[in-house]
């Protein structure tokens, strides 16, 4: 077996021995993976001549994870450096960053986009792609320039939590923008929660003196998500825009996606790992540490998501990594707690442990949800698979490892995790970013600035 193409006549940079997951989803046990110039050049049974070799028998060599939903700058205490360092420690080799930067700097102009792109080259440990956004009023002339600069998509919200950084985009504005974005050809995504429903229920809860953690879920009921999802899909239907549905928490959200797809719409949809591992009972146990938007749901919805994950109705799994320090989470009033969880570091191994190890999904589906699916959704043509010509972005898992999440041992900057104490099966022991060892099982081994900006590959790019 040797599927290499244009293998160098001399020694390659790196050869890894282990169980390699091929692009077709087949696990090739006990083979050599050859890397040269930061790219994969071959998979074969014979050991190649190499400048560096590493034998990892009985370890899984998988495509590096693409976390298509992170917020590096929602908190001034986080940033590109902290998020991507944690990503490297978890087997995540590319992140797609949201544009709602604190304190009031949404990435909605070419100047802000270029400044953030330049920061990647100074601060990032792994590769980074960027969403752009647009404001609720004013000209939309920046849409085309932002796409030309390499935006992977546009992200907005129909629920406003900040008038400048995270504003609500009115329906008429969405219609206007979707028409323009349909011609541009990159996806558009929106945080989907109905503002009127949520605000009215929060007001009622506050008036009744109900500030306990469970009220976060009660004031953001399922209908708030599904109504907003249906509205966005209808706007997409009549404009022809490509849509990416973010952080779906309910099987019905994905039913609406399936209907849109059946009607000819181009759509991808994601859930997040917290909606697969935690239910609303975590709010009772963890308080503000379990607060995220949309909220954690009832157990029946969690189980329904696993069913949809198995049968292909969910395209991606992401982290929605948006960490805040504990003094902004551990507060008595749940409505005063900041919404968001650290998650980029634990995303891959928690999905492996709960999904693959427990037999809920197979290894090929795991890689599709975390690697090839995001790459295809956003046009990252050289990422998301192990095949000749692809970037040598790799995650190595020891499937026999057994350990317990200890938040103090994680790389995440905030020093806490909603998964504290969870028993995990499997462990990330190596991360390679474009052929360079980025994590050795204990430490992040590349420097800030190793990461590069990633844009979609399109005819007009």
Sheet holding 267-272, edge to edge: 65-70, 92-97, 127-132, 153-157, 188-191, 243-245, 267-272, 316-318
DSSP string, 48-92: PPBSSEEEEEEEEEEEPEEEEEE-SSSSTTS-HHHHHHHHHHTTE
Question: What's phi and psi for 151, nearest 5 deg?
Answer: -60, 135
Alpha carbon distances (Å) from 417 to 83, 292, 342, 421: 14, 13, 6, 9
Q: pLDDT tens string for the chain (461 positions)?
A: 344 445 566 899 999 999 999 999 999 999 999 999 999 999 999 999 999 999 999 999 999 999 999 999 999 999 999 999 999 999 999 999 999 999 999 999 999 999 999 999 999 999 999 999 999 999 999 999 999 999 999 999 999 999 999 999 999 999 999 999 999 999 999 999 999 999 999 999 999 999 999 999 999 999 999 999 999 999 999 999 999 999 999 999 999 999 999 999 999 999 999 999 999 999 999 999 999 999 999 999 999 999 999 999 999 999 999 999 999 999 999 999 999 999 999 999 999 999 999 999 999 999 999 999 999 999 999 999 999 999 999 999 999 999 999 999 999 999 999 999 999 999 999 999 999 999 999 999 999 999 999 999 853 33
Name the CA dihedral angle for 36, 37, 41, 43, rounded to a multiple of 10 degrees: 40
Contacts of 8 (CB under 8 A, 6+ apart): 36, 41
Q: Helix (H, G, I), strand (E, B), or coil: what is residue 33? A: strand
How do beta strands 423-433 and 436-439 pair? Answer: antiparallel
Length of the chain: 461
CA triple 232-234-239, angle to 5 deg:
95
Q: Which domains does the chain have, with CATH numbers?
A: 14-62+388-439 (2.30.40.10), 65-378 (3.20.20.140)
pTM of the complete model: 0.97
Q: Where are the beta strands (DSSP E) in 184-264?
A: 188-191, 243-245
Closest among 19, 16, 48, 126 to 80, alpha carbons compared: 126
101: exposed, middle or buried (C-beta count within 10 Å: 0-12, 13-18, 19+)? buried
Q: What residues have CB less than 8 Å from 371, skipping those under 6 apart? A: 62, 63, 64, 65, 66, 383, 384, 385
E-strand ranges in 361-418 read: 394-404
Task: Quote the CA–CA distance of 202 and 131 in Å, as a whole number.
Answer: 30
Query: What is the pairing mode between strands 92-97 and 127-132?
Result: parallel
């Amino acid at each position: 077996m040797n599927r290499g193409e244009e293998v160098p006549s001399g020694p390659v940079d790196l050869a890894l021995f282990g169980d390699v997951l091929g692009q077709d989803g087949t696990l090739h046990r006990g083979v050599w993976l050859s890397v040269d110039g930061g790219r994969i050049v071959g998979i074969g049974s014979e050991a190649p001549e190499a400048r560096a070799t590493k034998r990892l028998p009985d370890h899984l060599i998988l495509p590096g994870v693409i976390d298509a939903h992170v917020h590096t700058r929602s908190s001034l205490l986080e940033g590109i450096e902290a998020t991507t360092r944690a990503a490297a420690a978890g087997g995540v080799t590319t992140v797609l960053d949201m544009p709602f930067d604190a304190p009031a700097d949404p990435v909605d102009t070419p100047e802000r986009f270029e400044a953030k792109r330049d920061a990647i080259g100074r601060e990032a440990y792994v590769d980074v792609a960027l969403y752009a956004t647009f404001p609720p009023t004013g000209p939309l002339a920046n849409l085309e320039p932002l796409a030309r600069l390499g935006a992977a998509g546009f992200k907005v919200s129909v629920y406003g939590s900040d008038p400048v950084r995270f504003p609500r985009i009115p329906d008429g504005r969405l219609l206007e923008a979707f028409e323009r974005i349909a011609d541009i050809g990159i996806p558009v995504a929106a945080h989907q929660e109905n503002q009127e429903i949520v605000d009215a229920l929060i007001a009622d809860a506050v008036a009744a003196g109900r500030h306990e953690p469970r009220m976060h879920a009660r004031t953001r009921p399922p209908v708030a998500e599904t109504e907003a999802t249906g509205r966005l899909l209808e706007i997409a239907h009549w404009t022809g825009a490509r849509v990416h549905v973010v952080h779906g928490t309910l099987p019905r959200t994905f039913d609406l996606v399936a209907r849109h797809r059946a009607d000819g719409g181009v759509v991808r949809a994601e859930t997040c790992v917290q909606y697969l591992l935690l239910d609303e009972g975590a709010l009772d146990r963890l308080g503000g540490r379990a607060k995220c938007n949309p909220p954690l749901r009832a157990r029946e919805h969690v189980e329904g998501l696993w069913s949809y994950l198995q049968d292909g109705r969910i395209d991606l799994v992401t982290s929605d990594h948006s960490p805040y320090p504990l003094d902004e989470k551990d507060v008595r009033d749940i409505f005063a707690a900041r919404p968001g969880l650290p998650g980029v570091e634990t995303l891959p191994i928690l999905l492996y442990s709960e999904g693959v190890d427990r037999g809920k999904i197979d290894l090929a589906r795991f890689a599709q949800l975390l690697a090839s699916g995001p790459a295809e959704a956003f046009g990252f043509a050289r990422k998301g698979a192990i095949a000749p010509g692809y970037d040598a972005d790799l995650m190595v898992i020891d499937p026999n490892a057994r350990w317990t999440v200890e938040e103090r041992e994680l790389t995440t900057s905030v020093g806490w995790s909603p998964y504290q104490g969870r028993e995990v099966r499997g462990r990330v022991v190596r991360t390679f970013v474009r052929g360079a060892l980025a994590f050795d099982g204990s430490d992040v081994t590349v420097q800030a600035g190793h990461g590069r900006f990633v844009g979609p590959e399109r005819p007009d790019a």
